[in-house]
Amino acid sequence: MEPLLELLGLAKSAELLSLSPPGWGGNLLRGLVNSLQIAFGAFGFGLVIGLFGAYGKLYGGVVIRDLLAIYTTVIRAVPELVLILILYYVGTDLVNKIAQAFGYGRVEISGVFAGIWVLGIVQGAYSTEVLRGAIQAIPQGQIEAARAFGMPSLMLMRRVTIPAMMSFAVPGLANLWLIATKDTALLAIVGFSELTLETRQAAASTRAYFTFFLAAGALYMMVTLFSGAAFNRIEKWARRGQPSLRGKN
């Protein structure tokens, strides 16, 4: 009954969640902003990698295809936590050693930068696969028509391939975006204070576990709902021109 009572102890919860100290609401919001910042950067960076990766996998030479296969397999296979530990610690260790060898002092690598970099590389591997699948789902004729009219490949990508694949790619990309917002939690390990870490700290310091975890859940839900609405619009736009399947027998 304890957690339930705690859940119902709304007055106490409101006090704990108020925006200025001693309430922890401000901390949670700050964490959320940090999370979104990194998620946004990483998602965008990942999309760029993914686009080139998908193209490389579909149209690249053998060497490029093999290298991309290794990239997507390794990055997608290794848990992000391990990647972050390795890329961040070993990476900064190396940078520092090099800097010291040249007579410079310790280099600080900012959490935001490292986070975007590391998560972006991870996201890129997934985007590659999502976009590759979407490109393959485009009816061949659509691309051929563009080729036949002499569209340069970059323009073909921009004007035909990307809009035509959108309807196939959007659900997968929406998943990736949500994963990005939540993967930022892993950056807690490098001391980056995003939403999950702020939540855990608030919860452990006040022992009000239910209050804070539900509050964090609600914040995540809000992000999801907002981005869901955005992705819905994108998908609807991407599907324009395709007859709806709904209501067909």
Partner 1 sequence: MAELGAEEIDTQNADEEAIRVTDLRKSFGTLEVLKGVSLTAHKGDVVAIIGGSGSGKSTFLRCVNFLETPSAGQIIVGGEEIKMRPDGSPADRRQIERIRTQLGMVFQAFNLWTHRTLLENVIEVPVHVLKVPRAQAIKRAEELLDRVGLGDKADVFPSFLSGGQQQRAAIARALAVDPRVMLFDEPTSALDPELVGEVLTVIRDLAAEGRTMLLVTHEMKFAREVANHVVYLFEGRIEEQGPPAEVFGNPKSARLKQFLKTVG
Partner 2 sequence: EEVKIGIAAEPYPPFASLDASGSWVGWEVEVIGAICAAAKLDCVITPVAWDGIIPSLTGQQIDAIMASMSITEERMKTIDFSNPYYNTPAVIVADKSMDIEPTPASLAGKIVGIQASTIHQAYAQEHFSESEIRVYQTQDEANQDLFAGRVDAIQADSIAMADFVASDAGACCEIKGPVENDVSILGRGVGAGVRKGDDALREALNGGIAAILADGTHAEITSRYFSASIYSE
Partner 3 sequence: MFDLRDLMKPHRIVLMLIFAAIVVWCAYTLRWDWIPTYAPLAIEGLWRTIWILIVTTVLGFFLAIPLGLAQAIGPWYLAAPAKVFCTIIRGTPLLLQIWLLYYGLGSLFPQIPWIRSSELWPYLRQAWPYAVLALTLSYAGYEGEVMRGAFSGVNKGQLEAANAFGMPRLTMFRRIWLPQAIRNVLPTLGGETILQLKATPLVATITVVEIYSVSSRVRADTFIVYEPLLLLAVFYMMIAGVITLLFRRFEQQVPGRATGK
**Footprint of partner 1 (CB under 8 A):** 139-142, 144-153, 155, 159-160, 163-164, 166, 238, 240-243, 249
Give the type of residue at 119: L
DSSP letter string, 188-236: GGGT---HHHHHHHHHHHH--HHHHHHHHHHHHHHHHHHHHHHHHHHHH
Among 92, 166, 214, 219, binds partner 2 (CB under 8 A): 92
Q: How many CB atoms lie within 10 A of CB 95?
A: 15
Taking the complex as a whole, how short is the minimal distance between the CB of residue 80 and partner 2, in angstroms?
13
Q: Could you identify the residue written with the tokens 């609600």?
A: 218
Q: State the Cα–Cα distance between residues 179 and 50, nearest whole angstrom.
A: 15
Q: How far is the CB of 190 from partner 2 (least distance, A)?
A: 6
In whole angstroms, what is the distance from residue 142 CA to residue 58 CA?
16
Span interacting with partner 2, options 31-39, 87-95, 128-136, 149-157, rule CB under 8 A: 87-95
Q: Are 75 and 122 spatial neighbours (Cβ–Cβ below 8 Å)?
A: yes
Q: Which one of partner 2, partner 1, partner 3, none is in contact with 116 (Cβ closer than 5 to 8 A by kind)?
A: none
Q: Considering only residues 191-220, where is the footprint of partner 2 by CB under 8 A?
A: 191, 193, 197, 200-202, 204-205, 207, 209
Q: How far apart are CB 156 and partner 1 at their closest, in Å?
A: 9
Task: Name the residue nearer to partner 3 (CB basis): 58 or 156.
Answer: 58
Cβ of residue 114: shortest distance to partner 3, in angstroms? Answer: 17
Whose Cβ is closer to partner 1: residue 147's or residue 233's? 147
Nearer to partner 3, 21 or 139 (CB): 139
Site track for partner 3 across 177-216, x = CB under 8 A: -xx--x--x----------x------------xx--x--x
What are the tokens at 107? Answer: 């280099």
Q: CB of residue 60 vs partner 1: minimum separation in angstroms?
A: 14
Specify the 3-state DSSP secondary structure of 157: helix
Q: How far is C-alpha 117 from the chain's CA centre?
A: 11
- CA pair distance 152, 212, nearest whole angstrom: 53
Residue type, 190: V
Token couple for 30: 């700050």
Q: Of these partners, partner 1, partner 2, partner 3, none, which one is at the site of residue 205 (CB under 5 to 8 Å by kind)? A: partner 2
